[in-house]
Structure 1
Amino acid sequence: MDKFLAQLRAAAEPTRLRLLALCARGAFCVTDLCEVLGQSQPRLSRHLKLLVEAGLLERVPEGANAYFQLPPGAELARMLLARLPEDDPLLAADRRAAVRLAAERAREASDAFRRDGADWDEIRALALPAEAIEQALLGLLPPAIERFLDIGTGTGRLLEVVAERAERALGIDASREMLALARARLAERGLAGRCAVRQADMYRLPLPDAAFDVAALQMVLHYAEEPAAALAEAARVLRPEGLLVVIDLAPHERGELLERHAHRWPGFDDAAIAGWLGSAGCAALPPVAVPGPLAVRLWPARRLPGLVAPPAAPALTF
């Protein structure tokens, strides 16, 4: 009862209700919330602290910033928000400001990537058959997924593809600019309630053991200095019998990709992937080929049960 009363007291204030309504639509940092609500950072920080302490919001650190969002299972917060009038002029103004801000952030991130010469949508940059690759992946996935992990999520396209099947989906990427694009994509498509993104290193995921049913690495492994270590870490966070899918280039002779696109590996053959998956405690399944200007392969595998996992990294909720 004490926790319930604390949550009711924390929510019973106009600014805090506005914060809850915004954070239910996606993750926002303090700077974004200050711009949307037109209030000072010290004032909003106090409100956010009360909401976090009451368990109505969760604070997710990301580099020098922190993002605020509704935690999983925030039943009371969602019940209160469901009773707020949709046509309230203040809440409607907040929603419009949040949409505008998300568009500005996405444009800034995109411009930064163009200035730096980075391709933030590599599948299309390489003229690969995106739709065929996505359909091949969906053909490997179960019809219902409780928790899905996209390692190297980039702009979050894969989260969008699997959103209809996944109860919760998390994308991990090391680039803050990529994550800005991903957040904008998810918010624009109304997927921020089920899909989230976090900044993290794929070699040391801040996630507990056996936390996910499915994990995927799409066009990520050819950048890895240590592909075996990346796959071992992905396998660690899979439950027994969980599905791991690697989507990447087959062996090729396009040497310019190593220079212009900073690829570390000129594709992978089945034997190399199968060996790394076996070392990671996974049983490789038959690969799937997708023809195109550059051949793409999907390597699915099942996490074997009964293996001792390495020590878990600190838990990260989403």
Structure 2
Amino acid sequence: MTALIEFVEILRAAGEITRLRLLALLSESELSVKDLTEILDQSQPRVSRHLRLLTESGLVTRHAEGAWAFFRLSDEPGASILVEHLLEQLDRTDTVLQADVGRLDAVRRDHRARAATYFSKVAKDWDRVRSLHAPESAVEQAILDMMDGQRAELFIDLGTGTGRMLELLDGHFKKGVGIDSSREMISVARSKFENTGQQHVFVRLGDIGQLEEYRASADFVMLHQVLHHFDDPGQALQNARYTLKPGGKIAVVDFMPHELEFLREEQAHRRLGLSHAQMVAWAGAANLRVSSHKEIPHNKPGGGLTVCIWHLTDQS
């Protein structure tokens, strides 16, 4: 139970027009200070001050990405119930709230336009690599088969890119977090999930070598086409292992060994595929066990890329 004085402070934090507008907007989407400043047509310092009060009260959660900060409603049970009740009392036909929603739609359209512009630049290279390996439909079906009957409280997708694995596995987790070191990719993914309104899915700018925030928190972790970009995939796998709860699981989706040298220069591949022996060794060093694997062959004339899905289980 919240102490009486603390509860009064929470009510004071929410009981102001701009802060109520902020709560209403954040019930629609996770948003940055820049987004909220544009929507509310207020100065950045003023909006930041209101957000600080809401964050300190526990009604809102802040996530920093370099010089940027994103905000969303708290998912703590007490705070979320209170905010939900407050927002239910608002008249959503109010002209101020309707204008806010209109400007939010404009911000979302701008996000989508920026994402589309970036994606159009990289799509050609992506399409070339996809043409070399097994059909995406076959790989994704194999991933879904692996997840049959499983549901995670927290799913972390490391190297999420455009968030495809979060889309694919929606329904197999209560909360999903995608992490990627590319701000442009994160923008594409964030725009996508803003569009679909999936409030239980979040994407974060981050490095696979700096995952302290997620230590021992995940039931299931995905590394989809990630490890071949590392000089030391074993270390990257150990970093992923740190995010697992005891008994958690990791899925690695990557290429089997191949000889397509051009991928080193054109796609920054550091490893030309990963072998079963390597995966077993890396898994063992991270206190993981390879419980199963499945190969999806390329069947491309003249050679191509065979995809493999390794299922790793925590041994602690």
TM-score where L is the length of structure 1? 0.88
Structure 1 unaligned spans of 5+: 306-318
Of 152, 156, 161 in structure 1, the residue corresponding to residue 159 of structure 2 is: 152
Q: Distance in 1 between matches of 2:128 and 2:165?
A: 13
The verdict on how the C-alpha distance between 1:125 and 1:102 changes in structure 2, with shifts beyond 3 A counting, is: farther
Determine if the alignment matches structure 1 residue 298 to structure 2 residue 309. yes
Residue 66 of structure 1: aligned partner: 69
Q: Distance in 1 between matches of 2:311 and 2:253?
A: 9
2:197 partner SS = coil
Determine if the alignment matches structure 1 residue 28 to structure 2 residue 31. yes
Contact 1:113 1:120 in 2 (8 A): no
2:257 partner SS = coil
1:123-272 matches, cutoff 5 A: 125-127=129-131, 128=133, 129-141=135-147, 142-191=149-198, 193-272=199-278
1:52-91 matches, cutoff 5 A: 52-73=55-76, 74-91=80-97
The verdict on how the C-alpha distance between 1:38 and 1:120 changes in structure 2, with shifts beyond 3 A counting, is: farther
Shift of 1:110: 4.1
Q: Distance in 2 between matches of 1:123 and 1:265?
A: 20
Determine if the alignment matches structure 1 residue 5 to structure 2 residue 16. no
Q: Distance in 1 between matches of 2:207 and 2:167?
A: 22
The verdict on how the C-alpha distance between 1:121 and 1:261 changes in structure 2, with shifts beyond 3 A counting, is: closer
Residue 289 of structure 2: aligned partner: 283
Shift of 1:32: 0.9
Q: Which protein has the bigger helix share? A: 2
Shift of 1:207: 2.3
Q: Partner amino acid for 1:159?
A: L
Percent identity, please.
38
TM-score where L is the length of structure 2? 0.89
Determine if the alignment matches structure 1 residue 14 to structure 2 residue 17. yes
1:286 partner SS = strand
Residues 154-209 of structure 1: per-residue CA shift (max 9 Å, x gap): 11111122222211111111111111111111111111x10111111102213243
Shift of 1:27: 1.9
Q: Partner amino acid for 1:181?
A: V
Please tell me whether Structure 1 or Structure 2 has the larger radius of gyration of its CA atoms: 2
Report how many residues are paired: 302
Contact 2:119 2:188 in 1 (8 A): no
Q: Distance in 2 between matches of 1:91 and 1:266?
A: 54
Q: What RMSD in Å do the two structures reach over aligned CA positions?
A: 2.0
Q: Partner amino acid for 1:150?
A: D
Shift of 1:125: 4.9
* Larger CA deviation: 66-75 vs 237-246: 66-75
2:213 partner SS = coil
2:312 partner SS = strand
Q: Partner amino acid for 2:203?
A: V
Shift of 1:78: 2.4
Of 30, 51, 62 in structure 2, the residue corresponding to residue 48 of structure 1 is: 51
